[in-house]
Chains A and B, each alone.
Chain A
Amino acid sequence: MKKQIQLVALASIAFLALALLFMGCPKKEAVKSEIAEAALATYVPPGDLDEFYLFYSGGHSGNIFVAGIPSMRHIATIPVFTPYPSTGYGFDKETKEMLGGYTWGDAHHPALSETNGDYDGRWLFINDNANNRIARIDLKDFKVKQILGPIPNLSGNHGSTFVTENTEYVTIATRFSVPIPKGTYVPVEEYAKKYHGIVALVEVDPKTGEMRMDEKHGFQILMPPFNFDLGDAGKGPSHGWVFWTCYNSERATGILEITASQNDRDYIAAVNWKKAEEYLKAGKYKIISGVRVIDPKEAPGVVYLLPCAKSPHGVDVSPDGKWIVGSGKLQSITTVYNFDKMLKAIENKDFVGEEDGIPVLRYESVREAEVQVGLGPLHTQFDDKGYAYTSLFVESAIAKWKLGTWEVVDKIPIAYNIGHLCVPEGDTKHPAGKYVIALNKLSHGRHLSVGPSQPEASQLIDITGEKMKLLYDAFTEPEPHYAQAIRADKLKDKVIEVYQKGIDNKNPNAIWDEKDAKIVRKGNTVEVWMIAVRSRFQPWKIEVNQGDKVIIHLTNIEQTTDELHGLAICEYNINIVVDPGETKTIEFVANKPGVFPFYCTNFCSALHQEMQGYLLVKPKGGATAMK
Chain B
Amino acid sequence: METLLQKWERLQDTPLNLKSRILTFIAALSVVLTFLFPLWRMQFFATFYPDGLKLYIYSYKLEGGKTAGRDDLREINTLNHYIGMKPLSQSDFPEFTYLPFVFGALGLLTLRAVVLGKISTVVDLIVMYAYVGLFSILDFYNKLYTYGHNLAPDAPIKVQPFTPPVFGKKLIAQFTVYSYPYIGSLGLLLAIVFLVLALIFSAKEVKSES
Contacts and interface: CB of A to CB of B under 8 A. Distances in A.
B69 A581 contact: yes
A599 interface: no
Interface string B165-188: 000000000000000000000000
Nearest to B157: A606
Interface in B67-84: 68-71, 74-75, 78, 81-82
B153 interface: no
A534 interface: yes
Which A-B residue pairs are the 5 nearest by beta carbons?
A498-B69, A559-B71, A560-B70, A500-B69, A560-B75
Contacts of B78: 533-534, 558, 560
14 contacts: A497-B68, A497-B69, A498-B70, A499-B69, A534-B82, A559-B71, A560-B70, A560-B71, A560-B74, A560-B78, A581-B69, A606-B82, A607-B156, A610-B156
Contacts of B71: 559-560
A561 interface: yes
Nearest to A610: B156
B156 A559 contact: no
B82 A559 contact: no
Nearest to A504: B69
B51 to A, nearest CB: 11
B155 to A, nearest CB: 11
A496 interface: yes
Contacts of A559: 69-71, 74-75
Interface of B is mostly: mixed
A504 B156 CA distance: 33
Contacts, number: 36
Contacts of B157: 606
A606 B156 CA distance: 10
B75 to A, nearest CB: 5
B34 to A, nearest CB: 28
In this complex, the interface size class of chain B, counting residues with CB under 8 Å from chain A, is 10 to 19
Interface of B: 68-71, 74-75, 78, 81-82, 156-157
Given A498-B69, A500-B69, A559-B75, 7 more contacts: A504-B69, A558-B74, A558-B78, A559-B74, A561-B68, A581-B69, A606-B157
Most buried by A among B69, B81, B82, B157: B69
B186 to A, nearest CB: 30
Contact of A498 (B68, B81, B156): B68
A459 B156 CA distance: 50
A538 to B, nearest CB: 13
A534 B75 CA distance: 10
A561 B71 CA distance: 10
B141 to A, nearest CB: 28
Contacts of A504: 69
Contacts of A533: 78
A493 to B, nearest CB: 11
A498 to B, nearest CB: 3
Contacts of A500: 69
A562 to B, nearest CB: 8
A187 B68 CA distance: 60
Nearest to A496: B69
A504 B69 CA distance: 10
A498 B78 CA distance: 16
Contacts of B74: 558-560
Contacts of B156: 607, 610
A561 B69 contact: yes
Contacts of B81: 534
A7 to B, nearest CB: 70
B158 to A, nearest CB: 13
Nearest to A559: B71
Contacts of A498: 68-70
A561 B156 CA distance: 23
A200 B49 CA distance: 50
A490 B78 CA distance: 33
Nearest to A47: B50
B154 to A, nearest CB: 13
Contacts of A581: 69
B193 to A, nearest CB: 40
A254 to B, nearest CB: 58
Interface in A282-310: none
B68 A607 contact: no
Contacts of A558: 74, 78
Interface string A481-492: 000000000000
B175 to A, nearest CB: 14
Nearest to B156: A607
Contacts of B75: 559-560
B82 A561 contact: no
B80 to A, nearest CB: 11
A66 B71 CA distance: 28
Most buried by A among B70, B75, B156: B70
Interface in A597-621: 606-607, 610
A497 B68 CA distance: 7
A581 B69 CA distance: 9
